[in-house]
Amino acid sequence: MKTIFEKSVAGREGCWPCEGMAEEAYIPADLLRDGDIGLPSASELDVVRHFTKLSQRNFGVDGNFYPLGSCTMKYNPKFTESVAGLPGFTRLHPVLPQLQGAGGMCQGALEVMYETENLLSEITGMAAYTLHPMAGAHGELTGVMLMAAYHKDKGNKKTKIIVPDSAHGTNPASAAIAGYDVVTVESVDGIVDPGALAEVLDDEVAGMMMTCPNTLGLFEKNLPEVVRMLREVDALLYYDGANLNAIMGKMRVGDAGFDIVHLNLHKTFATPHGGGGPGSGPVGVSEKLVDFLPISRVAKQEDGQFFLDYNYPKSIGYVAPFYGNFGVYLKAYAYILRLGGVGLTRATENAVLAANYMRKRLSDHFDIPYDRICMHEFVASASPQAKNGVRALDIAKALLDKGHHAPTVYFPLIVPEALMVEPTETENKETLDGFIDDLIAIAEQAKTDPEAIKAAPVTLPVTRLDETHAARAMELTDDL
């Protein structure tokens, strides 16, 4: 496909800002450009076709199945987009006056924030939320800063945070960025083991970050014991709830004894993940951490009006400009109200059912290292195929030829040749079966014709790349 510059024909015009009028007539002379702007010359139709075709080269969940484990690329209802696009919200500015008497038009937006915090508190059993963090990892960092503030306030000397080897990779990174030493606890049979935990637990532990379900898609069934052990050394419990569509409606993090949780609204609550944002990673806390939450916080006056309260002397301060990504939590708010408690619970049930259905059907063809009931995702291993020279990456590439997005590969690190599959709650059985059948066909072909799989993809504009070269010496004008 040619670039729009290659399609340019000198003199061809695509738009006429003010027909019949010289530019000098409506743009002040001192603002007019002297030289050529260097934009391509193309007709409007050429431009429309060019960008429509380009968009079709893009892979998205609106077009195809996207089972990218740990990323929850599910279909998100379009009605939430229309709610987020309502002019009454999009035309607001963060520094507009808040109260009605002062001419404020943001009472509705403040109410959305207030209500969203309450709904998330109810769903997870926490005392309060901040909506400010703009991603899951940002929520983690905020959570670890809350831990630090709590211990400092109590005069505790704490230097370490425990992170299991089955945690999401951002967990140890967040703990380290906040200045803690990261202590790894090795999982036993895929989950945290109290015996192994006891070996690394001491008075210097500030807290533990648990991803649940963990990156193997397994529920951490020793949670009650883990919570009890951490309490004994006054350490806080952090729950990575990025994938709440594995537990919501079934279990409340606060009831299980956790002090801090972050959610990825851009996974569970309607905004698509990926593409670099925007995201939203709200953080919920138990009663004892409420005073440390970031400012500002939405509060309600006696007359029922909402305002932003900055009067929290123990607050960790700002973690984001203004109040985070408003549009994302607005979508979450609409989604939660639309589904209700029953709908959210069914989302969880469908996500877990779909993952277990796929795991079961694939278990005769791939190695499934932890082959038992999983949550919203599971991890298969291409180790058997690798013996024949076909690696997880080759299988991922072969799936592209069949029109699917690849699963996550080589993660989690504790599974060799990992293929991490997350079907999500929004796909129908035919789609799941189509993917499974294609994956089984690839496994069969790996036995008879491994070279063909190693050559994939052959149907896409770009085949195998030298990825290092592609990143370091990018060439954007190639005729694809």
Ligand X SMILES: *Cc1c(COP(=O)(O)O)cnc(C)c1O
Q: Kindly list the residues in this chain that would bind ligand X in the complex (CB under 6 A).
A: 70, 135-137, 168, 170, 211, 240, 242-243, 264, 279, 281
**In terms of CB distance, is 264 or 445 closer to ligand X?**
264
Closest CB 169 distance from ligand X, rounded Å: 8
Q: Minimum distance between the CB of residue 466 and ligand X, rounded to whole angstroms? A: 27
- In a 3-state reduction of DSSP, which class is residue 39? coil
Least distance from C-beta 178 to ligand X, angstroms?
15
Closer by beta carbon to ligand X, 85 or else 275: 275
Looking at the Cβ atoms of 70 and 381, the one nearer to ligand X is 70
Cis, bond preceding 461 (omega within 30 deg of 0)? no
Q: Read out DSSP for 236-293?
A: EEEEEETTGGGTTTT--TTTTT-SEEEE-HHHHSSSPP-TT------EEE-GGGGGGS
Q: Which is nearer to ligand X, 136 or 249 (CB)?
A: 136
User: Nearer to ligand X by C-beta: 233 or 320?
Assistant: 320
Q: Which of 110, 272 has the CB closer to ligand X?
A: 272
> Buried (b) or exposed (e) across 218-239, using 16+ Cβ within 10 A?
bbbebbeebbebbeeeebbbbb
Residue 161, H or E segment = strand 160-164
Question: Measured from the CB of residue 34, what is the shortest distance to ligand X in angstroms?
Answer: 45
| Rounded (10°) angle between helices 107-124 and 326-362 | 30
Minimal distance, residue 170 CB to ligand X, in Å: 5
d(CA 391, CA 383): 8
Least distance from C-beta 242 to ligand X, angstroms?
Answer: 3
Sign of CA dihedral 218, 222, 228, 231: negative
In the complex with ligand X, the residue whose CB is nearer, 279 or 324, is 279
Taking the C-alpha atoms of residue 460 and residue 399, their distance in angstroms, rounded to an integer, is: 11
We find the least distance from the C-beta atom of residue 174 to ligand X, in angstroms, to be 9
Choose among 209, 224, 312: nearest CA to 261: 209
Cβ at position 330, least distance to ligand X in Å: 18
What sign results for the dihedral spanned by CA atoms 130, 133, 139, 141?
Answer: negative
Tell me the residue nearest to ligand X as measured from the CB. Answer: 136
What value, to the nearest 5°, has the Cα angle with vertex 66 and ends 62 and 67?
150
Our CB check for ligand X shows the closer of 138 and 365 to be: 138
Beta strands 205-211 and 236-241 are: parallel
